[in-house]
Amino acid sequence: MPTVFCPLPTANYICSMSIVKNLQESTIQSLSALYNQSFTEKDFQINQTKPEFEGDYTLVMFSLVKSLKLPPETIGNQLGEHLIKHYPHLFSAYNIIKGFLNLTVIDAYWHDFLNENHNNTGYGKKGMNGKKVMVEYASPNTNKPLHLGHLRNIFLGWSVAEILKANGYEVIKSCIINDRGIHICKSMIAWQLFAQGSTPDSTGIKGDHFVGDYYVKFNDVYKAQVANLITAGKTKDDAEKEAPIMKATQQMLLDWEDGKPEVMALWNTMNSWVYAGFDVTYNSIGADFDKTYYESNTYLLGKDIVQQGMDKNVFFKKDDGSIWIDLTAEGYDEKIVQRRDGTSVYITQDIGLALQKYEQFKIEQSIYVIGNEQNYHMKVLQLICQKLGMPNADNIFHLSYGMVELTSGKMKSREGTVVDADDMVNEMLATSQQHTEELGKVKDFTETELKLLYHTIGLGAMKFYLLRVDPKKTMVFNPAESIDFHGFTGPFVQYTYARIKSILRKQLTNDSMTNNTMTDALLKSEKEIMVMAEQYPAIIEQASAELNPSVIANYIFHLAKSFNSFYAELSIANAETESKKQLRLNLSRLTANIIKSGMQLLGIAVPERM
């Protein structure tokens, strides 16, 4: 993905491409004129001016000291004078704080910006760039329901896809379902042994939960059988191999691979239960996919590629007939790509699927949203694809993210201690209802409106909390903290949006939605909102380049926070003049549009009232 100039993705160091681009170009031209040398944007740094200083953007002079052999204050004064004199359409004042040149952008620039964009609901988004990207996320197993870890994966993948769309890419959202293997057979054998023919319909249990219960049941029985065998004198290794339920499961896997009709029928039936359950969850959390792959259809894909690799001497065969690749020169080790019995391994399947994705969609980039425990696997996948000379091999990208934990610690599927996604969603909706009722501002809502509001706030709180953290970081999810209406949360942003919409409903009529014609000096809090608002296109570009929704979440939160400060300080209804009132209304509308747009990129709805 393209790299965007931006020194630091924090509230005070976010770059605005339009004004910063102007500032870059004018600075380069001024430096060249002053010192008769060539310069580029890499020769200096641009930050947003810190709140305690006068100015809008700051040029850092220290990197110029060595080449110009002048003190930073001297460079700053000479450059500031030149910029004010030769670019009066951009800058009105400057000041020097040690080696930092703080520049003030003229008010007319901000007035023009507001007039052009205050009613533009598509502000910040780019037109199509002709490039196609696939984002793969979710990747569930059909032996258990989705859990909290899946939620971070799904929210991250979905949001990244939407951010890329906003930056001009055509995006295919894809999912690979792991619907075969020994883990699937564990649920199947446990159902055969203990279900007595029960089904999701007969028990009233959601399909993925129903099948997942038998996965946990398998593990409980297996551990008991292993313990009994150890008590009877077996070693731990022998006991684990000889436990009757494990041997039955291994035989079922062989029967599946042989296509035994009754095993295939059970496999199809139990998978259909799980898919129905997944669909309910996906619908509830607002997740969708354009293309779904199934491991049962892809696990044979890499066989032909293995032979091609042998022909190219990329792979080699060991004495037992297994086929490997030697990656020791790249700092890894030898990796098996085909077992001695001719069956493929996971990496082989992934190689085949990577090629299939490219051949089907001709994608420029294939992004895999997968946890950081698979970092090694993904590096090896790309290395092998590159050695094979596969098209698009260089554009395989692993969006590695950290695990999500609860305050109670890590989760384990086999022990049934995983936090179920549906349970978490229901908990968030209940907490949303409780907090909303405590505020006491929804007494005129209908039952349907209340239900939608609770879902909007509860789900928004969870998504925002999981997405506000840099994907690379492991995080702890705190449900109670996530729904605080006064913290760094989704509900705080949603409440700000609803507040702005209430202001606009009270103050606006159709004939009052006009451009601001005022030319008076902007107040500090008015300009602060405009400066932040102008940064939104660059924020989308930065989030796209970094594949990082937390850039959006942090920006939207600080924008909402700044608007609340602005509204607490300045009256809209009783503004000093009618033009001031119109300016603040337009500023409010622009802020609302950006909040709604940014939250949509995170998959979060914003209520018109709350």
Write out 43-111 in H/E/C secondary structure: HCEEEECCCCCCCCEEEECHHHHHHHCCCHHHHHHHHHHHHHHHCCCCEEEEEEECCEEEEEECHHHHH
Give the per-residue pLDDT at 270.
Answer: 98
343 has pLDDT over 90: no
Mean per-residue pLDDT for 199-209? 97
Full DSSP string of 256-322: HHTT-HHHHHHHHHHHHHHHHHHHHHHHHHT---SEEEEHHHHTTTTHHHHHHHHHTTSSEE-TTS-
What element of type H or E holds 508? none
Q: Which residues pair with 367 in a beta bridge?
A: 135, 397
pLDDT in tens, 137-170: 999 999 999 999 999 999 999 999 999 999 999 9
Mean per-residue pLDDT for 115-125? 94
Query: In the chain, pLDDT over 90 holds for what percent of residues?
Result: 83
Structure tokens at 359: 């051949």
Gap between the Cα atoms of 139 and 355, Å rounded:
18
pLDDT in tens, 401-455: 999 987 765 544 444 457 899 999 999 999 999 988 888 788 889 999 999 999 9
Gap between the Cα atoms of 151 and 411, Å rounded:
14
Residues whose CB is less than 8 angstroms from the CB of residue 593 and which lie 6 or more positions away in sequence, other chains included: 118, 119, 120, 121, 123
Question: Is residue 44 within 8 Å of residue 61, measured between CB atoms?
Answer: yes
- What pTM was computed for the model? 0.90
| Average pLDDT in the chain | 91
Give the per-residue pLDDT at 480.
Answer: 85
71 has pLDDT over 60: yes
Give the per-residue pLDDT at 417.
Answer: 54
Give the per-residue pLDDT at 2.
Answer: 37
Secondary structure (3-state) at 397? strand
Least confident window among 7-11, 370-374, 381-385, 488-492: 7-11
Question: Which of the pair, 223 or 1, is modelled with greater confidence?
Answer: 223
61 has pLDDT over 50: yes
Dihedral of alpha carbons 362, 365, 368, 373, sign? positive
Mean per-residue pLDDT for 238-245? 96
Gap between the Cα atoms of 517 and 503, Å rounded:
21
The CB density around residue 514, as the number of other CB atoms within 10 Å, is: 13
H helix and E strand count, the chain = 23, 14
**Half-sphere exposure in the Cβ direction for 186 (13 Å, CA):** 22
Question: Is residue 449 within 8 Å of residue 498, measured between CB atoms?
Answer: no
Dihedral of alpha carbons 143, 149, 151, 152, sign? negative
13 has pLDDT over 50: no
Least confident window among 274-288, 314-328, 365-379, 429-443: 429-443
Does domain 17-105 correspond to CATH entry 3.30.1360.70? yes
Mean per-residue pLDDT for 5-19? 42
Domain spanning 421-601: CATH superfamily? Isoleucyl-tRNA Synthetase; Domain 1 (1.10.730.10)
Question: Is residue 252 within 8 Å of residue 185, measured between CB atoms?
Answer: yes
Structure tokens at 391: 């098209």
Least confident window among 119-128, 341-350, 403-412: 403-412
Distances (CA, A) of 118 to 45, 112, 571, 577: 30, 10, 19, 19
pLDDT in tens, 516-537: 666 678 999 999 999 999 999 9
Residues whose CB is less than 8 angstroms from the CB of residue 204 and which lie 6 or more positions away in sequence, other chains included: none
Give the per-residue pLDDT at 345.
Answer: 87
Question: Is residue 467 within 8 Å of residue 155, measured between CB atoms?
Answer: yes
φ, ψ (nearest 5 deg) of residue 338: -155, 130
6 has pLDDT over 90: no
Gap between the Cα atoms of 443 and 437, Å rounded:
9
Question: Is residue 547 within 8 Å of residue 165, measured between CB atoms?
Answer: no
Give the per-residue pLDDT at 14.
Answer: 38
Question: Is residue 354 within 8 Å of residue 385, measured between CB atoms?
Answer: yes
| Chain centroid, CA 587 distance in Å | 28
372 falls in which pLDDT band (50, 70, 90)?
A: very high
Gap between the Cα atoms of 442 and 275, Å rounded:
37
Indicate the domain borders of the chain. 17-105, 181-294, 421-601
DSSP 474: -
Burial of 331 (0-12, 13-18, 19+ CB in 10 A): exposed
